[in-house]
Chain A
Amino acid sequence: MEIGSGLTIGLILGTVIGVAAMLIWVERRLLGLWQERLGPNRVGPLGLFQVVADMIKIFTKEDWTPPFADKFSFVLAPAIIMTVVLLSFAVIPFAPNIGIVDSNIGILFVLAMASIGAYSVMLGGLSSDNKYALLGSLRAAAQMVSYEVFMGISLLGVVALSGSFDLREIVHAQEDMWFVVPQFIGFVIFLIAGVAESHRLPFDIPEAEQEICAGYHTEYSGMKFGMFFVGEYLGLVLVSSLITVLFFGGWMGPAFLPPVVWFALKSGVFICFFILLRAAIPRPRYDQLMSYGWLFLLPLSLLNLLVTGALILMN
């Protein structure tokens, strides 16, 4: 395979979307396991065809747009989230010879896409003309914009150590030591900000079911809802891949397994970790999350950057 060839692009796209869809099943089974219940186990072997059933359901459901909604942005919002997350995968190096593009602004591109992704949630909520959705998108705006800041700063340590924004270069720079060791604080902050960015429990504040029903996607149904839904899983895969690339040496691992398998295994561990987080941790209040970010994470990530910079200069 060759980087950037049509075949590679097709395969990556198919795999990523396939994995995101399978996560619906994986998450429900894992939650079932951890919560002393069964989870979906009726449709097909081990309930695997649940994904197919869900897809059939979601594609054939009435795709309803409320008459009071702002049609254009209502339709646009779910498309944005899918597009930007899929675009972000373009710069991810999956293995030495697998990837779509090696951009020397890879990290910046991912951060830019995440910023655009915030619009999806905000527009979805605002265009619905629903009070719960409005509250959801207000929360989303505050949360996602704030946590982008810490996410960006937490990555600068990695950038400083590797001397590059190119994700492939960053992986190569980890041949001696994974960045999780020198950049442990950066890793933790990125992990937290990653959860906040993909707005999953415990930071699912824009869609907190117990508080504001379904938040920004209250009015969505059918495939438009499905795009938010799959978009969330795609985001999960993306964040897990980024952690693997930035902090855990990407595809690198002992030679008895092909590099791409190492990549998949590492990302898989983080995906499971995020699902476990969802099962384990309660949701903080929205203002608590904000003050935690600005008063704790921001100083910490700046400090991390300063110390890293100082250490590099000393060497």
Chain B
Amino acid sequence: MHSNTQETRDGLIEQVRQRFAEQILALQETCDGIPTIWVDRAHAKTLLRYLHEETSPLFEMLFDITAIDERLRVNREGQPDSEFTVVYHLMSFTGNCDVRVKVPLFDADLHLPTVIEIWPNANWYERETWDMFGIRFEGHPNLYRLVLPPTWKGHALRKEHPARATEMEPFTLDDDQEAFEQEALLFKPEEWGMQRKSENSEFMFLNLGPNHPSVHGAFRIALQLDGEILVDAVPDIGYHHRGAEKMGERQSWHTYIPYTDRIDYLGGVMNNLPYVMAVEKMAGIQVPARAQTIRVMLAEMFRICSHLLFYGTFAQDVGQLSPIFYMFVERERIFNIIESICGARMHPGWFRIGGVAQDLPQGWETRVKELLEFMPPRLAEYDSMVMNNGIVKRRTQGVGVYNTEEALDWGVTGAGLRATGLEWDFRKQRPYSGYENFEFDVPYAVNGDCYDRCAVRVEEMRQSLRIIKQCLENMPAGDYKADHPLTTPPRRKEALHDIETLINHFLSVSWGPVIPPDEVTVAIEATKGINSYYLVSDGSTTSYRTRIRTPSFAHLQMIPEISRGFMVPDLIAIIASIDFVMADVDR
């Protein structure tokens, strides 16, 4: 499934060995086959720079930075001593492979150098890691809290931090405290890296959000304006943070599935996919072909739903009021089909460890056929309504442009990357869940502007319809769930016949499955870009660490870069073209 083949891995490790023979602390084996190199703090940055600039293949993208609080972890065979491990996940697009670099740290001395000079998108990832674990990144220009409020005490993803409000003192806010919080909210341009005036003029600071009609959720951008021209635009996130990663450490492997639905809340079951695939990989479950195809079909339906909503709001944000209403009609019809299959609409939580919750209902073919019939003419109509509209073109072409190199620097994936001319789709490059069996094209565009990002998504809807058509025509017979003891909820067929399976069944239902100790990253081409789950199992009924790498988080960080010098209405077009949801950013 992964393209991190033995060959590329060995080749890479050999190169790293030759250069850093003494400095490598350990090489860790994980079941996803991603080479994991442990290196000490002093050499981490050199190694990362080496991977970025000299190895073959080069690792162009910093995919993720996160940390693991290792203090309570029991199963750590073959790993160096560490209390807090910082994990860098790098991705190579030329070599189509990944590498993980881990740096052990101790609580008394939690710091390491920043890597912003190598990858500019390290900025937010390092801030988040500081925010959640209290690990300092030396040389970071603004190591403030990113997700939690500035007055928050403690670091939420450390194991000693309570996970529930009931574990904390009841919350009170007296006058002093209120004044203190108010003071902390006061906008000081200097803290955001903004000048109050230039030689010629005094700037206006405009607070766009957290409640604003076009920021698509609770999202704030502090604007520095010269007239209506953007001098700077600094995003402020965290208003939608729900502690999804922390919840992963509390919920059982099975009961966490519905939480994943709410990460990219427009993606529905698409969110379940990387999570259940990650758990299945650790458990060693082979998912039957029918279950895989059902998963693909539903995921593609949700891709269409999500893109439709994007398309409509994109048009609305450039001032076209009607398309969103038409698209809601389609979306509703697709939701009706999804509902008849899953029993729920936006958040079905329908995938299970080892398969899906139920087999397809009788007559599902008729409804899916309807979808394939009504969508294409409507999409053609939208082309003439939105994509071919002269004003839409003038508003979005040449606005918010970036090229492939910048996209990789900032961790941009999905349609935003493909709009720059790089034909890179996870479903093609590293097929999962049986995507290798489908015929579809990867749409791409070349200008990397707002219009192209939209055009790519429009074409993706047509490709999704092609995939759904193939699912309909070639739905394999067989089981909708794997026959494996860790499948959840477990199969009951044999349970009443022999005591061994009965015990297994009882434990799996009452505690939930116990997943063997391992680490795994599984990424998919989600609606908005690459979404991945990095799970650490300590051989228990819950995950030891759940890291969710979402595409929207990376994309928002790029806003200042691509909007400087444009006008306020252009910023709205840029925001619309990024296609993010705040739940996906803040988690």
Q: Which residues of A contact B212 (CB under 8 A)?
A: 213
The answer to whether B326 and A285 have CB atoms under 8 Å apart is no
B391 at the interface (CB under 8 A from A): yes
The answer to whether A210 and B391 have CB atoms under 8 Å apart is no
**How would residues 364 to 405 of chain B score, 1 for a CB under 8 Å from any chain A CB and 0 otherwise?**
000000000000000000000000010110110000000000
* Measured CA separation A135–B326 after assembly (Å): 31
The answer to whether A280 and B213 have CB atoms under 8 Å apart is no
The answer to whether B321 and A286 have CB atoms under 8 Å apart is no
A209 and B213 contact, Cβ closer than 8 Å, known pairs A201-B321, A286-B567: yes
B322 at the interface (CB under 8 A from A): yes
**How would residues 183 to 211 of chain A score, 1 for a CB under 8 Å from any chain B CB and 0 otherwise?**
00000000000000000011010001111
Determine how close the nearest CB of chain A comes to the CB of B260; give it in whole angstroms: 31
The answer to whether B325 and A36 have CB atoms under 8 Å apart is yes
Residue on B nearest A285 in the bound complex, by CB: B569
Residue on B nearest A280 in the bound complex, by CB: B322
Q: Which residues of B contact A135 (CB under 8 A)?
A: 206, 228, 568
Residue on A nearest B573 in the bound complex, by CB: A285
Q: Which residues of A contact B572 (CB under 8 A)?
A: 210-211
Interface size on B, residues (CB 8 A): 28
Residue on A nearest B327 in the bound complex, by CB: A36
The answer to whether B206 and A131 have CB atoms under 8 Å apart is yes
* Measured CA separation A201–B319 after assembly (Å): 8
The answer to whether A282 and B391 have CB atoms under 8 Å apart is yes
Interface size on A, residues (CB 8 A): 30
The answer to whether B326 and A36 have CB atoms under 8 Å apart is yes
B346 at the interface (CB under 8 A from A): no
Q: Which residues of B contact A204 (CB under 8 A)?
A: 319
Binds A, one of B162-170, B310-318, B349-357: B310-318
The answer to whether B394 and A35 have CB atoms under 8 Å apart is no
B218 at the interface (CB under 8 A from A): no
Q: Which residues of A contact B392 (CB under 8 A)?
A: 282
B570 at the interface (CB under 8 A from A): yes
A287 and B322 contact, Cβ closer than 8 Å, known pairs A209-B213, A210-B316, A211-B214: no
A286 and B322 contact, Cβ closer than 8 Å, known pairs A209-B213, A210-B317: no
The answer to whether A37 and B318 have CB atoms under 8 Å apart is no
* Measured CA separation A227–B316 after assembly (Å): 26
A210 and B214 contact, Cβ closer than 8 Å, known pairs A201-B319, A202-B391: yes
* Measured CA separation A31–B395 after assembly (Å): 24
The answer to whether B206 and A282 have CB atoms under 8 Å apart is no
- CB-contacts of B293-327 with A (<8 A): 315-322, 325-326
The answer to whether B322 and A34 have CB atoms under 8 Å apart is yes
Q: Which residues of B contact A172 (CB under 8 A)?
A: none
B204 at the interface (CB under 8 A from A): yes
Q: B322 touches which one: A35, A210, A212, A288 (CB < 8 A)? A: A35
Which of B315, B318, B319, B570: most chain A Cβ within 10 A? B319
A281 at the interface (CB under 8 A from B): yes
**How would residues 160 to 201 of chain A score, 1 for a CB under 8 Å from any chain B CB and 0 otherwise?**
000000000000000000000000000000000000000001
Determine how close the nearest CB of chain A comes to the CB of B386; give it in whole angstroms: 8
A28 at the interface (CB under 8 A from B): no
* Measured CA separation A202–B394 after assembly (Å): 14
* Measured CA separation A201–B320 after assembly (Å): 9
A279 at the interface (CB under 8 A from B): yes
Q: A279 touches which one: B228, B322, B389, B568 (CB < 8 A)? A: B322
- CB-contacts of A237-296 with B (<8 A): 278-288
* Measured CA separation A124–B224 after assembly (Å): 24
Q: Which residues of B contact A284 (CB under 8 A)?
A: 319, 391, 394-395
**How would residues 177 to 216 of chain B score, 1 for a CB under 8 Å from any chain A CB and 0 otherwise?**
0000000000000000000000000001011000011100
Determine how close the nearest CB of chain B comes to the CB of A135; give it in whole angstroms: 7
B31 at the interface (CB under 8 A from A): no
The answer to whether B325 and A208 have CB atoms under 8 Å apart is no
A283 and B319 contact, Cβ closer than 8 Å, known pairs A211-B214, A211-B569, A213-B213: yes
Which of B214, B325, B569, B572: most chain A Cβ within 10 A? B569
9 contacts between A and B (CB under 8 A): A36-B329, A131-B207, A210-B316, A281-B320, A281-B389, A282-B389, A282-B392, A283-B320, A287-B567
The 3 lowest CB-CB distance pairs between A and B, nearest first, are A283-B319, A282-B320, A35-B325
With contacts A282-B318, A283-B569, A286-B569 known, what are 16 further pairs, Cβ within 8 A?
A35-B322, A35-B325, A36-B325, A36-B326, A131-B204, A134-B204, A135-B228, A209-B213, A210-B316, A210-B317, A211-B569, A211-B572, A282-B320, A282-B392, A283-B320, A284-B394
Interface residues of B (CB under 8 A from A): 204, 206-207, 212-214, 228, 315-322, 325-326, 329, 389, 391-392, 394-395, 567-570, 572
